[in-house]
């Protein structure tokens, strides 16, 4: 296929500088047919698209008509930095590149460049510079590329790794997550990255799905708030030396649009069932709030189909809602290889031509994943099968993202890139997030915190104690930069005289019990036992390596939520040793083990931590830090009792928690024989070493109009002996609606620090749109009637009052 991005190189030598768009009589913004490669003049420095003071739309409209068809198509296909750099050995620091590889890559795939590699910083920067310099200096139009990498919970080229997204969500602290987003951006931007493939806004309502750890949990409101914080933190600010019209320094990617997180059977990529109401009231909310309202500069589509239509072929989702109703102007990329899946997975196309046409007609670009079906587009335009105007609309979306980043003014890495990576400030943000991500679930007779004076020795047991169990989306031994729990405890206890008796006890995976004796012996000779078990995930670079299985993460779905291998038996053996036992569940997803819930004295949930998880865990166990995390996802008693999410539609779980006796048994009504649909722990739960009392619940007005919002004020008192942070949560129940609404739904929360013995008055605003239902007539309507407004420390609320909407 003839590809023209190379040809202009020769041309550019023959043409003199100046705004030649005027010389050949072509109007800049005219919707003229694309010029052929041979009659096109080189743009001059005064071209509108090069003018940093011009508006983004004027620049887009000036540039587009200057592009050949082949250049347009090259903009909407993802290239790969591996095409000119050798990244096979992540430790190799050779500073050279393959020039013919570079030229051939940029001739076909030049809009965005996959750069999710692990390499020494210097070499990485060299590679980005080579690519951008070529585009800017050696192609006619000089359009720089988006350089893309991963940053779900830390920039993956040896940047600071934070807890997995599900742990970030457990902090219930959007301000802190905003700082985390800022660190990820600092680290990636310095090395020349302009596009990060995060956040994940899927809802974890199907827990068998391995990617639960990548989400902010089960709830659309929490996911919206945390997603917005990440996007704002990542995008805030401007690249150096860029235009005033630039709006962000890094493009976030809201993914996976839409409804990807509830695949049938929990199997990744499987179809998702549901209708328009479920789509609107659950899955789409985070995309609107965290993405469209914050000005996120890109979206990635879902692999799956929803109600029988593949996301990338769904004109209702991609065009009617996203482009028309929400007026989303920016870049939407497919996920790797999804265009071909229209043929091989969904069976809605039988040719690559059909797949490319369908995808681009829905204004999506192509992330190749090795196969580049969009290369069929130039011929399809020439034959009349695909309209060039469709290509134009798609190209405009990526150009807007680039202008919004100021890429045309400065697409390069920074000379002082090393100064923004792994700084002292980023360590502080990391440590604070590690602390706030830990959730205390059980604390019988205040077994925790342990005291360094009263405790002489602890047994630290279990396969999670001596390793750094990071979630997926880290590369090349990132966990080597982490502190294990064992090291965390040793560091904290240094000089205190408290002994740590460590025993691995069992492996994560197999049924080998040969380590039990040593574990039981360690427990017996210690004052207290801390047993660390859970699930595990894989470094992305090990994903396809045989023998390196995992129980969570992308491509690792499970039919069960129990501990695998000998882990439960290990916990039982340690409990039987007779010492007070604290179980730490290190996992990326809820672990459903009622036996542990019943028999452990203390239970701590640590979703996959980042580099300082071991440090933070030791601080929590010994009370240097008071736990303040809350569950972003409910823990079912067993996989068969799922879904366990708290915001089920009325009638789905026949009994409200109010009908359950204090000891947890159901008093009457429908339930599972020999089991209960009531989760072990519900959304929003998490204990503290202090106690909080709630009083004086007031609404700004107990009667409001259908267009009004309201606010909730409550007094929260720290009635215990230590300072603490509480997450004050507001839920509503719509008492009568024209459609079935959730039993209750979170509509506001605020994390507050309250010193021991003191009180704080907390005011939380609830917007009018949170009262709306999606009616049978397909409209958002706030219907008159009453709402219960409930406030408390979890979805099991403490105070309530009634709001009347009239």
Ligand X SMILES: *[C@@H]1O[C@H](CO)[C@@H](O)[C@H](O)[C@H]1NC(C)=O
Shortest Å distance, C-beta 409 to ligand X: 20
Placement of tokens 């929803």 in the chain: 306
Beta bridge partners of 149: 196
CA 695 to chain centre: 35
The only residue of 49, 124, 126, 134 in contact with ligand X, by rule CB under 6 A: 134
Residue closer to ligand X (CB basis): 86 or 711? 86
Contact range with ligand X by CB under 6 A, out of 35-43, 118-126, 225-233, 254-262 = 118-126
With CA atoms as reference, report the closest residue to 718 among 753, 687, 686, 751.
753
Q: Does 126 bind ligand X (CB under 6 A)?
A: no
Task: For 786, list phi and psi in degrees, rounded to 5.
Answer: -110, 150
Cα–Cα distance, 264 to 279 (Å, whole number): 15
Shortest Å distance, C-beta 46 to ligand X: 21
Contact indicator for 367, 338 with CB cutoff of 8 Å: yes
The only residue of 14, 16, 25, 100 in contact with ligand X, by rule CB under 6 A: 100
Tabulate helix, strand, coil % of the chain (nearest 5): 35, 20, 50
Closest residue to ligand X in the complex (CB): 101
The only residue of 121, 172, 306, 473 in contact with ligand X, by rule CB under 6 A: 121
Shortest Å distance, C-beta 6 to ligand X: 9
Q: Does 129 bind ligand X (CB under 6 A)?
A: no
Q: Does 643 bind ligand X (CB under 6 A)?
A: no
Contact range with ligand X by CB under 6 A, out of 40-48, 101-109, 436-444, 790-798 = 101-109
The only residue of 98, 638, 715, 786 in contact with ligand X, by rule CB under 6 A: 98
Contact range with ligand X by CB under 6 A, out of 145-153, 323-331, 589-597, 657-665 = 657-665
Residue closer to ligand X (CB basis): 121 or 608? 121
Q: Does 91 bind ligand X (CB under 6 A)?
A: yes
Shortest Å distance, C-beta 156 to ligand X: 11
Residue closer to ligand X (CB basis): 505 or 724? 505
Burial string for 523-549 (b: 16+ CB within 10 Å, else e) reads beebbbbbbbbbbbbbbbbeeeeeeee
Report strand pairing: 528-534 vs 580-587: parallel
Q: Dig out the tokens for 328 from the structure.
A: 């989303």
With CA atoms as reference, report the closest residue to 587 among 604, 566, 575, 573.
604
Shortest Å distance, C-beta 338 to ligand X: 25
Question: What DSSP state is assigned to residue 467?
Answer: S
Shortest Å distance, C-beta 118 to ligand X: 6
Binding mask 391-420 for ligand X (x = CB under 6 A): ---------------------------x--
Q: Does 623 bind ligand X (CB under 6 A)?
A: no
Mapping DSSP onto H, E and C, the string for 44-92 reads CCCCHHHCCCCCHHHHHHHHHHHCCHHHHHHHCEEEEHHHCCCCCCCCC
The only residue of 23, 92, 94, 137 in contact with ligand X, by rule CB under 6 A: 137
Binders in 530-549 for ligand X, by CB under 6 A: 547-549
| Four-residue CA torsion sign, 543, 544, 549, 551 | positive
Binders in 142-171 for ligand X, by CB under 6 A: 158
Cα–Cα distance, 153 to 177 (Å, whole number): 10
CA 310 to chain centre: 22
Binding mask 494-523 for ligand X (x = CB under 6 A): ---------------x--------------
Shortest Å distance, C-beta 104 to ligand X: 5
The only residue of 49, 257, 374, 476 in contact with ligand X, by rule CB under 6 A: 476
Shortest Å distance, C-beta 775 to ligand X: 40
- Compute the residue count for the chain: 806
With CA atoms as reference, report the closest residue to 567 among 638, 486, 509, 636.
509
The only residue of 122, 560, 656, 675 in contact with ligand X, by rule CB under 6 A: 122
Question: If you write DSSP's letter for every residue of 141-200 in order, what string do you get?
Answer: S--PPEEEE--SSS-TTT-PPPPPHHHHHHTT-HHHHHHHHHHHHHHHHHTT--EE---B
Placement of tokens 């396969």 in the chain: 463
Using CB under 6 A as the binding criterion, the count of chain residues that bind ligand X stands at 27
Contact range with ligand X by CB under 6 A, out of 132-140, 338-346, 353-361, 596-604 = 132-140
The only residue of 277, 323, 387, 422 in contact with ligand X, by rule CB under 6 A: 422
Residue closer to ligand X (CB basis): 156 or 334? 156
Q: Dig out the tokens for 84 from the structure.
A: 């000119």
Task: For 752, list phi and psi in degrees, rounded to 5.
Answer: -130, 145
Binding footprint of ligand X on the chain (CB under 6 A)? 90-91, 98-101, 103-104, 120-122, 134, 137-138, 158, 418, 422, 476-477, 509, 547-549, 661, 663, 665, 667
């Amino acid at each position: 296929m003839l590809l023209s991005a190379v040809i202009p190189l020769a041309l550019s030598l023959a043409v003199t500088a100046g705004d030649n768009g005027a010389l050949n009589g072509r109007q800049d913004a005219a919707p003229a047919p694309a010029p052929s490669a041979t009659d096109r003049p080189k743009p001059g420095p005064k071209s509108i698209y090069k003018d940093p003071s011009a508006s983004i739309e004027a620049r887009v409209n000036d540039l587009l008509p200057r592009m050949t068809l082949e250049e347009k198509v090259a903009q909407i296909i993802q290239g790969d930095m591996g095409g000119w750099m050798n990244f096979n050995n992540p430790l190799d620091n050779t500073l050279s590149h393959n020039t013919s590889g570079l030229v051939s890559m940029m001739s076909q795939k030049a809009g965005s460049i996959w750069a999710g590699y692990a390499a020494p910083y210097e070499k990485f920067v060299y590679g980005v510079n080579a690519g951008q310099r070529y585009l800017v200096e050696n192609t006619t139009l000089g359009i720089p590329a988006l350089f893309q990498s991963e940053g779900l919970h830390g920039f993956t080229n040896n940047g600071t790794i934070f807890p997995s997204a599900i742990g970030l969500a457990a902090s219930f602290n959007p301000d802190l997550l905003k700082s985390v987003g800022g660190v990820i951006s600092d680290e990636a931007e310095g090395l020349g990255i302009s596009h990060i493939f995060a956040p994940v806004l899927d809802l974890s309502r199907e827990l068998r799905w391995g990617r639960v750890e990548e989400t902010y949990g089960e709830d659309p409101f929490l996911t919206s708030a945390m997603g917005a914080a990440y996007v704002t933190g990542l995008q805030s600010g401007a690249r150096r030396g860029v235009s005033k019209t630039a709006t962000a320094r890094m493009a976030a990617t809201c993914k996976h649009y839409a409804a990807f997180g509830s695949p049938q059977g929990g199997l990744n990529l499987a179809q998702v069932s549901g209708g328009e109401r479920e789509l609107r009231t659950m899955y789409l909310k985070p995309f609107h709030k965290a993405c469209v309202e914050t000005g996120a500069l890109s979206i990635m589509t879902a692999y799956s189909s929803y109600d029988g239509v593949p996301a990338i072929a769904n004109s209702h989702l991609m065009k009617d809602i996203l482009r028309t109703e929400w007026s989303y102007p920016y870049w939407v990329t497919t996920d790797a290889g999804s265009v071909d899946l229209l043929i091989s997975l969904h069976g809605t196309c039988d040719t690559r031509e059909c797949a490319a046409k369908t995808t681009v007609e829905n204004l999506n670009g192509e992330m190749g994943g090795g196969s580049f079906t969009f290369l069929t587009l130039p011929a399809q335009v020439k034959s009349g099968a695909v309209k060039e105007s469709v290509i134009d609309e798609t190209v405009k979306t990526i150009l807007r993202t680039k202008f919004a980043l100021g890429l045309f003014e400065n697409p390069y890495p920074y000379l002082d890139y090393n100064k923004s990576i792994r700084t002292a400030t980023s360590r502080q943000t990391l440590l604070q997030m590690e602390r706030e991500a830990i959730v205390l679930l059980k604390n019988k007779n205040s077994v925790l915190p342990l005291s360094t004076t009263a405790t002489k020795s602890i047994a630290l047991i279990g396969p999670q104690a001596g390793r750094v169990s990071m979630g997926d989306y880290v590369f090349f031994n990132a966990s080597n930069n982490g502190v294990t729990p064992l090291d965390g405890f040793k560091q904290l206890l240094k000089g205190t005289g408290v002994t740590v008796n460590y025993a691995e006890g069992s492996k994560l995976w197999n049924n080998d019990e040969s380590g039990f004796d040593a574990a039981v012996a360690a427990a017996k000779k210690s004052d207290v036992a801390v047993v660390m078990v859970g699930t595990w995930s894989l470094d992305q670079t090990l994903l396809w390596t045989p023998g390196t299985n995992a129980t969570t993460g992308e491509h690792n779905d499970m039919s069960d939520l129990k501990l695998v291998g000998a882990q439960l038996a290990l916990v039982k053996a340690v409990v039987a040793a007779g010492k007070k036992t604290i179980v730490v569940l290190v996992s990326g997803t809820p672990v459903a083990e009622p036996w542990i819930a019943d028999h452990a004295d203390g239970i701590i949930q640590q979703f996959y931590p980042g580099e300082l998880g071991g440090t933070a865990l030791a601080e929590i166990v010994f009370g240097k830090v008071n736990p303040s995390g809350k569950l972003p996802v409910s823990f079912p008693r067993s996989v068969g009792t799922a879904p366990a999410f708290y915001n089920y539609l009325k009638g789905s779980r026949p009994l409200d928690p109010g009908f359950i006796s204090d000891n947890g048994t159901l008093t009457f009504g429908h339930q599972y024989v020999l089991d209960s649909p009531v989760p072990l722990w519900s959304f929003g739960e998490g204990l503290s070493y202090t106690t909080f009392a709630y009083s004086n619940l007031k609404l700004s007005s107990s009667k409001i109009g259908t267009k009004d919002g309201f606010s909730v004020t409550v007094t929260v008192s720290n009635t215990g002996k230590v300072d603490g942070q509480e997450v004050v949560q507001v839920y509503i129940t719509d008492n009568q609606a024209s459609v079935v609404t959730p039993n209750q739904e979170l509509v506001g929360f605020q994390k507050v620090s309250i010193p021991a013995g003191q009180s704080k008055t907390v005011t939380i605003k609830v917007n009018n749109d949170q009262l709306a239902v999606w009616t049978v007539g397909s409209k958002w309507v706030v219907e008159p009637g009453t709402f219960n407004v409930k406030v408390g420390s979890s979805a099991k609320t403490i105070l309530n009052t009634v709001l009347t909407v009239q």
